[in-house]
Amino acid sequence: KNEVEQSPQNLTAQEGEFITINCSYSVGISALHWLQQHPGGGIVSLFMLSSGKKKHGRLIATINIQEKHSSLHITASHPRDSAVYICAALGGATNKLIFGTGTLLAVQP
């Protein structure tokens, strides 16, 4: 079992839909990152969370430390949101990022 699990692996949505991507982890962490990777390969850091909730534009990230679970929400989704979304846990013991396998999101017009 991976230390960081994401679901779903693939997600297809219609433009305007509300999207949720889930991340569960089994290790102690210092922080959790949500990353976005476009087809070209470059990675953009969307959020870094250690507790609670953060919002940036149409993106919202939440984390529940007790349940070891985080979610990334996209409101009013748009085709330009199509990308791979990766959660990565910063291991509390190792101080290294442990990556989930990613969620491939396709938003259709």
Partner 1 sequence: SAVISQKPSRDICQRGTSLTIQCQVDSQVTMMFWYRQQPGQSLTLIATANQGSEATYESGFVIDKFPISRPNLTFSTLTVSNMSPEDSSIYLCSVESRDSSYEQYFGPGTRLTVT
Contacts with partner 1, residue ranges (CB under 8 A) = 30-31, 33, 35, 40-45, 48, 50, 86, 88, 90, 96-97, 99-102
Q: Could you tell me what percentage of the chain is helix, strand and coil, using 3-state DSSP and rounding each to the nearest 5?
A: 5, 60, 35
- Write down the residue that tokens 């791979």 correspond to: 84
Cβ distance to partner 1 smaller for residue 44 or 76: 44
Q: Which is nearer to partner 1, 50 or 64 (CB)?
A: 50
Contact 97, 3 (CB under 8 A): no
> Least distance (Å) from partner 1 to the CB of residue 6?
9
> Shortest distance, CB of residue 109 to partner 1, whole angstroms?
26
Task: Check residue 67 and report its DSSP letter.
Answer: T
* DSSP label of 51: S
In the bound state with partner 1, the residue whose beta carbon lies nearer, of 16 and 92, is 92
Q: How far is the CB of 4 from partner 1 (least distance, A)?
A: 9
Query: For residue 69, which phi and psi values (nearest 5 degrees)?
Result: -145, 140
φ, ψ for residue 53, nearest 5 deg:
-145, 145
Q: Which residue's CB is nearer to partner 1, number 60 or number 99? A: 99
Least Å distance, CB 55 to partner 1, is: 17
